[in-house]
Amino acid sequence: MKQMVIEGNNILTGDIHIGGAKNSAVALIPASILANGTSTIKNVPNISDRDALIDILKILNCDVDLEESTLKIDTTNLKNTLIDEEHSKKLRASYYFMGALLGREKYVEIYIPGGCNIGARPIDIHIDGFKALGATVTTEGNKYILKADKLIGTDIYLRFQSVGATINLMFASVLAEGKTIIHNAAKEAEIENIADYLISMGANITGAGTDEITIVGVNKLHGGEITVLPDRIEAGTYIILGALVGKNLCIKSIIPKHLEALTSKLKDMASDITINEDNIVISKVDNLKPTNIKTLVYPGFPTDIGQPMSVLLTQANGTSLFEETIWENRMGHVPSLNKMGANITVKGMSSMIIGPSKLHGDEVVATDLRGGAALVLAGLTATGTTVINDVEHILRGYENIEEKLAQVGAKIEIKEI
């Protein structure tokens, strides 16, 4: 087990470089098996979800070569075997092998995916879409078996703009016969990145990034190449850190347009923020205004930045209301924040945050990835020592977090216990 120890209340200054987006990389890696031959993914973040997906590629007999942040995947000798429970349970994104293997092999056996404990996380929208394309889906205990003689393009209407279902259905339809239109598709920036990768392999996809994506099936895909876009959630987390304890903290290598929902809120709160072409500079101010936040699908306020943002709301001058609309269980960090001195009352998927609170260090536990990131921000803001247990959750999605924060002046250490 890993534990993080933070000595808080230091002003942080300097540059933080943002890596490739976790939620794009975790789909790009499985997408590689749709191609015959070798594909290259650049700017892959150094996170444990990456390693878990590479292990699954190896189970499928793919050759994988990782050099720094460049991943080369050769699928020439792919063997379509069962993806066992131990490996599929390690992360949510293992379910992208459903769409990718169904697309290429028309047969998949895989166990139910894992991932953060932030809600029920059903996959009915994915399954309904696979069935609409002509697959049969059966379950044996926790195992799914998907098969099809052939997949035939069709119109698919998603009852919710699900990120995962949109991506999985792109995977299942790129090699199908005829035209598929995904209506009410998710519009997250990552989806365009993933479509661009498939297009580089020879796929025919238009409309990614809008709510209607059209895919015309092709017979075969060849090796492709893509650069993972910058991680807007990692960037957002560190931008909020700058508002908490920064002095000209510069968050670099980002696409500010992807962060507009956050930056417009920070401006409403009267933060000291400067938005440049590919970086954002932010400093702490004393009189932050409270605000109300409701998470929404892209381009609304991202659910994945909600937990880190709640830490900033504890420092605003007055009462803020926070409403989560995507996941039913994204308040796991609140008991820890309250233990550290915050004044947050949770009611269902909403919370009321009364600030400003003087946060003090304590021993707390990361219950999930973004909740854990929120505790890191709280620890860096608090006086005294904060000890965060179960740091593995955080390492799933934040690359080199200890080094990146130490470089701007944070006193932070990850220990094996």
With contact defined as beta carbons under 8 Å apart, do 4 and 380 qualify?
no
Pull the structure tokens for residue 362.
């304590």
Total residues at interface with ligand EPZ (CB under 6 A)? 27
CA–CA separation, 139 and 136 (whole Å):
10
Q: By CB under 6 A, tell whether 165 contacts ligand EPZ.
A: yes
Among 39, 162, 227, 386, binds ligand EPZ (CB under 6 A): 162
Of 33 and 250, nearer to ligand EPZ (C-beta) is: 33
Write down the catalytic residue from 16, 116, 221, 280. Answer: 116
Among 160, 206, 257, 415, binds ligand EPZ (CB under 6 A): 160
Among 146, 163, 182, 401, binds ligand EPZ (CB under 6 A): 163
- Nearest distance from residue 337's CB to ligand EPZ, in Å? 17
SS3 content of the chain, % helix, strand, coil (to 5): 35, 30, 35
| Termini Cα distance of the chain | 6
Q: By CB under 6 A, tell whether 121 contacts ligand EPZ.
A: yes
Q: By CB under 6 A, tell whether 93 contacts ligand EPZ.
A: yes
Among 51, 65, 124, 392, binds ligand EPZ (CB under 6 A): 124
Give the CB-nearest residue to ligand EPZ: 164
With contact defined as beta carbons under 8 Å apart, do 14 and 409 qualify?
yes
Among 44, 56, 116, 249, binds ligand EPZ (CB under 6 A): 116
- Nearest distance from residue 93's CB to ligand EPZ, in Å? 5
Stretch that binds ligand EPZ, among 57-65, 122-130, 176-184, 253-261 (CB under 6 A): 122-130
- 263 to 322, contacts with ligand EPZ by CB under 6 A? 303-304
- SS3 at position 209: coil
- SS3 at position 124: helix
| Contact mark string toward ligand EPZ, 3..32, x via CB under 6 A | --------------------x--x------
Residue whose C-alpha is closest to residue 147's, from 136, 131, 134: 136
- Rama region for 349: left / alpha / beta (φ>0; ψ in -120 to 50; rest): alpha
Return the residue matching tokens 């092999």.
105
Among 169, 326, 376, 405, binds ligand EPZ (CB under 6 A): 326
- Nearest distance from residue 211's CB to ligand EPZ, in Å? 13
- The DSSP call for residue 197 is H
Q: How would DSSP label each residue in 31-89?
A: HGGGSBSEEEEES----HHHHHHHHHHHHTT-EEEEETTEEEEE-TT-----B-HHHHT
Q: Is 116 a catalytic residue?
A: yes
Interface residues toward ligand EPZ, by CB under 6 A:
23, 26, 92-93, 116, 118-126, 160, 162-165, 186, 303-304, 326-327, 369-370, 397
Q: Give the active site residues.
A: 116
